[in-house]
Amino acid sequence: MTKKLDPKIAEAFKAWEDKILGAMIKRAESKGRKAETRESFATTSGIEPDRVALPDAGFDYVSKLGFPGTYPFTRGVQPTGYRGRFWTMRQYAGFGTAKDTNERYHALLNAGQTGLSVAFDLPTQQGYDSDDPISAGEVGKVGVSISSLADVEILFDGIELAKVSTSMTINATAAVLLAMYAALAKKQGADISKLAGTIQNDVLKEYVARHTDRFPLVPAMRLIRDTFEFCAKEMPKWNMISISGYHIREAGSTAAQEVAFTLANGIAYVQMAIDAGMDVDAFAGRLSFFFGAHNHLFEEAAKFRAARRLWARIMKERFNAKKPRSMMLRFHTQTAGCTLTAQQYNNNVVRVAMQALAAALGGTNSLHTNSRDEALALPTEQSVMIALRTQQLLAEENRVGDSIDPLGGSYYVEALTDEIEEKAEELISKIDDMGGAVEAVKSGWMEMEIRRSAFEYQRAIESSDITVIGVNKFTVDEDVRPDILRVDPAIQKSRTEELKKLKTERDNAAVEKALAEVKAAAEGTDNLMPPIIKAVEAYATIGEICSTLADIFGESRNGIA
Amino acid sequence: MPERPIKVLLAKPGLDGHSRGIYVILDALRDAGMEVVFAGIRRRPDEIAAAAVEEDVDVVGLSCLSGAHIPLFPETAKLIREQMGDDVLLIGGGIIPDEDHEELTKAGFGIIYGPGTDTREIVEFIKNEVKS
């Protein structure tokens, strides 16, 4: 890290290095010891920190940091930071049936959670009904099983959609779930233009990291464009996408790659919308982001600050956005699931707390804290409560939000912020040279880069260069079988019965008519949202709608775009 | 004559897309000199079994982090056993509760690995089992 030193500091520093530090190193060496524990203290992004960070005399405060709520938003997007309102505490939850999950939501809301976050099972995420043979074993496992509007009605029973904000982790089939949510809100008498929430709707990262894609890349991008247009017009308070680095990081990327690939994907979505004739300021304020919070406390906090600054510059300089809101990177954070250990699993409570601290210091807008038992199975309700309480402790007991961007001005953190930004910019420009993120995804390059970092990380654990407590250090023999949550394997049978019943009770002629309209829109260029809404209102299932789309679009099995 | 390298098929059955683990194993086994065929993610049990037969592998490794390992692992194992007999070594990994290990062992799995496993341990296990 090179920076300009004030001459007075430079002189004093040299004296310290020579006399104090130098003497210490010499003393150690004379005894045949090393003065420091490692040869290199580089982060996984390859940033070698200064032994002791010093003030940069050339540091341009106003252009680099600004103030909370002002360009380039390094210090956060809210002028009042957490002094006005804490981050939204939003635990990702869903398992089993809509009824099981509805009970968990009521428990979380009663415990002080401030937003909902829906986890769907894999069949729902990939557009298969729960009675489809391909869904075998997966129904209700990683999330709630939803096949039709009837399930969504049960999922939000007793919850007024006009009064909560709901985030839905749904990508390939986001248009269908958004349609179901809007349809239920209308049934509840809500004005959909006032609904607050988010659909993840980010397929680019699906092909490289998360792999719940269903359609090939081109029609998948068209579905996203249709949801953008629909939301801009009908649901202006809804975040139409959550551009996600979380899964890229979980798949093994470094922090710098996480920022770079996420923002590169973001650029691709913005370009797509502009190419479709949308005005950048009409939609950019409703783009949201999602990052992970990994173990390196300071690099992670810096990462969030760097991402905010870089995105603001991209929106302003590359896309000529005019509204400040269009330049704000608002993001959700989840603590890094890949850092949880099955060994001595209670230690995960501490890991999660530290990662949550990094997110708060980085100014996250909402947060999910993982449960201690997630390296073993789905989390139990007790574990989920500890995770939620961790956030509440951080906010209310530790008071990390009393002064905005508390790490701002730390010589070390500002240097890390600069370096992450620089590394991410280099990668983005490399992706630009390839023709943009769509090409970098399609060619397999982005996935291969992530995979290489994952393997290097594993090797570093195996050589003990990276320490994982309980795995390669301080290990113990244990035979712990904590209580775990299990989904009743009979669920697929009961869901099959429910679907059979639904299909006899609904107006099947209306369903067929609506599906024909979905098909016609898919074949042409009309926005798909209106016919999809009509179909879900007729209780067409997600499987029916998606197989109709797949007939026209084709399928993207095996994660190949 | 050099010995034929151990041939391994890796795959992810079901709809789970968590690919990090299986890619790390893939790279580690290749580094250890094995020939590794990747049958892909989101494969059906019959597709995996067909690939194992086609490639005539010594080892099949399955990964699942979504909790669908039962029924998918035993179903895949049954198809492989039916078509290839008992010689093929079956290994599994992912987020798999200890309580399920017995059922998977009965279904023919030689070992089930969880998070935090050292890849050298997996290489050793395969080498020992395939030799004997």
Q: Is residue B17 part of a domain?
A: yes
Distance CA A168, CA B17 (A): 18
Residue-level pLDDT at B132: 63
Q: Is residue B92 part of a domain?
A: yes
Q: Is residue A326 part of a domain?
A: yes
How many domains, in total, are found in chain A? Answer: 1
| A458: nearest CB among B14, B24, B98 | B24
B44 in contact with A, Cβ within 8 Å: yes
Host domain of residue B86 = 7-126
Q: Is residue A335 part of a domain?
A: yes
| A142: nearest CB among B66, B72, B114 | B66
Does B116 contact A342 at a Cβ distance shorter than 8 Å? Answer: yes
Instruction: Give the residues across from A238 on adjacent strands.
Output: A197
If 0-12 CB within 10 Å is exposed, 13-18 middle and 19+ buried, where does residue A167 land? Answer: buried
Q: Which residues of A touch B16 (CB under 8 A)?
A: 122, 138, 142
Q: Is residue B132 part of a domain?
A: no
Alpha helix segments (H runs only) across A118-277: 122-126, 149-155, 174-187, 204-205, 217-234, 246-250, 255-275
Secondary structure string (H, E, C) spanning A450-495: HHHHHHHHHHHHHCCCCCCECCCECCCCCCCCCCCECCCCCHHHHH
Identify the CATH number of the domain in which residue A323 sits: 3.20.20.240
Q: Is residue A47 part of a domain?
A: no
- Looking at the predicted structure, is the pLDDT value of residue B78 above 60? yes
Out of A105-114, A150-159, B43-52, B66-75, least confident range: A105-114
Identify the CATH number of the domain in which residue B81 sits: 3.40.50.280
- Looking at the predicted structure, is the pLDDT value of residue B2 above 80? no
B25 in contact with A, Cβ within 8 Å: no
Does B15 contact A134 at a Cβ distance shorter than 8 Å? Answer: yes
How many domains, in total, are found in chain B? Answer: 1
Q: Is residue A428 part of a domain?
A: yes
For residue B131, the distance in angstroms to the closest alpha carbon of chain A comes to: 25
If 0-12 CB within 10 Å is exposed, 13-18 middle and 19+ buried, where does residue B56 land? Answer: exposed
ipTM: 0.94
Distance CA A372, CA B130 (A): 37
B97 in contact with A, Cβ within 8 Å: yes
Tens digits of residue pLDDT in B87-110 = 999 999 999 998 999 999 999 999
- Alpha carbon distances (Å) from A34 to A25, A26, A38, A41, A464: 7, 9, 9, 14, 18
- Which amino acid would we find at residue A540? A
Q: Is residue A55 part of a domain?
A: no
Q: Is residue A258 part of a domain?
A: yes
Does B72 contact A122 at a Cβ distance shorter than 8 Å? Answer: no
Q: Which residues of chain A fall short of a pLDDT of 50? A: 561
Does B97 contact A142 at a Cβ distance shorter than 8 Å? Answer: no
How many beta-carbon contacts under 8 Å exist across A and B? 104
Host domain of residue A307 = 61-78+87-462
For residue B115, the distance in angstroms to the closest alpha carbon of chain A comes to: 6
Q: Is residue A170 part of a domain?
A: yes
Q: Is residue B37 part of a domain?
A: yes
- Alpha carbon distances (Å) from A221 to A173, A207, A386, A397, A555: 12, 12, 39, 44, 14
| A462: nearest CB among B67, B114, B118 | B118
Residue of chain A minimizing CA distance to B16: A122
Residue-level pLDDT at B1: 47
Residue-level pLDDT at A2: 59
Residue-level pLDDT at A499: 96
B23 in contact with A, Cβ within 8 Å: yes
Q: Is residue A41 part of a domain?
A: no
Q: Is residue B2 part of a domain?
A: no
Q: Is residue B44 part of a domain?
A: yes
* Chain B interface, best mutation among A169, A372, A491, A557, by max B CB count within 10 A: A557
